[in-house]
Structure 1
């Protein structure tokens, strides 16, 4: 009898709606690894107590020996050798990238912001594809919900859909998380 060992995926993308359980699943996937770097892309929001509570909840769930880095500059971390990275989350990375290129204003978006954002996204996807590190990335799935009422909201939804699809293309394992349950979308 031949025993087949299942190889652990190098890159996993977890997609889901708000409070779907994707961050908890990401943490469980890496719970046994001793040298995880948790990459928080959220940033701080002065005076927002609800946001501070969310961050405290996430911190409280993580093992104390995990290293935390708060940044949206992911390419250097992806290029390094080392333990696994948990990136939480790509939707917040995209928000930061859109802020940096002025994507929320029509004039700036059509005046070069769109090309700048596409270049940033391509750089991130290339860094993910080339990374020697185990990666678990979390991102929101917003394409199944209500159509946003504003042009900038629709732009964010569309760009996040593009980002998620591009990242999924370079991942070995892609899962949709709904109500704390994960549905494997693809595995190579």
Structure 2
């Protein structure tokens, strides 16, 4: 049974529907501390997408009522700011959605913006800021991220770029983490 991590920085990785979010939530929910958990919801809203809204509602409904939710999906810089100022433990779910929002914000999906525009530098700045905030956090932070490196090489440049950027982000977060767990088929495997 998970207990609140003694480590200050925890990274939980896994594939889609691997159980990574539930595992991360249990790390903080089953061993409550004196401060309430702040849940950083990194999912951007997609108006008109009912299936996406249902996914968000499912995540929201399974969290303890005592947790405070902060929506950061529309502003990727907001997560780093939250990590710098959080009073208690933070669970950020997930870095995959954070990167999606960050790439949307800087127009990194567009090949021309990426190769000839400011998108690379802007994304690098957002990523560096997030990693620095995570590495320097003053309390317990649990981050959740997808592991996409086990799949096929995507056929289009934007999706390849996303997969590569997420791989680099995960490596940097893992290097800054005190503890890294990979969740496969609901089973946690401690990596670090």
Normalising by structure 1, what TM-score?
Answer: 0.92
> What is the alpha-carbon distance in structure 2 between the residues aligned to residue 10 and residue 154 of structure 1?
32
Equivalent residues of 1:88, 1:139 under 8 A apart: yes
Larger Rg: 1
> What is the alpha-carbon distance in structure 2 between the residues aligned to residue 137 and residue 149 of structure 1?
29
How far the C-alpha of 1:112 sits from its partner, in A, is 2.2
Counterpart in the other structure of 1:67? 68
Equivalent residues of 1:41, 1:92 under 8 A apart: yes
Counterpart in the other structure of 1:57? 58
Residue deviations 1:102-151, cap 9 Å, x none?
11111100122112111211111001111102000000110111211110
Counterpart in the other structure of 2:107? 102
How far the C-alpha of 1:81 sits from its partner, in A, is 4.2
Counterpart in the other structure of 2:178? 172
1:27 alignment partner, SS class: helix
How far the C-alpha of 1:43 sits from its partner, in A, is 2.0
Equivalent residues of 1:83, 1:133 under 8 A apart: yes
- RMSD across aligned C-alpha pairs, in angstroms? 1.2
2:191 alignment partner, SS class: strand
Equivalent residues of 2:12, 2:24 under 8 A apart: yes
1:11 and 2:16 matched: no
Equivalent residues of 2:10, 2:143 under 8 A apart: yes
1:30 alignment partner, SS class: helix
> What is the alpha-carbon distance in structure 1 between the residues aligned to residue 107 and residue 49 of structure 2?
23
> What is the alpha-carbon distance in structure 2 between the residues aligned to residue 45 and residue 99 of structure 1?
12
Normalising by structure 2, what TM-score?
Answer: 0.90
Counterpart in the other structure of 2:21? 23
State which of 71, 77, 83 in structure 1 corresponds to 2:88: 83
Unaligned runs of 5+ in 2: none
Counterpart in the other structure of 2:129? 123
Counterpart in the other structure of 1:181? 187
How far the C-alpha of 1:52 sits from its partner, in A, is 1.5
1:42 alignment partner, SS class: coil
Counterpart in the other structure of 2:97? 92
Counterpart in the other structure of 1:3? none
> What is the alpha-carbon distance in structure 1 between the residues aligned to residue 101 and residue 59 of structure 2?
20
The list of structure 1 runs, each at least 4 consecutive aligned residues, that deviate by more than 4 angstroms after superposition, is none
Counterpart in the other structure of 1:142? 148
Instruction: Count residues in correspondence.
Output: 180
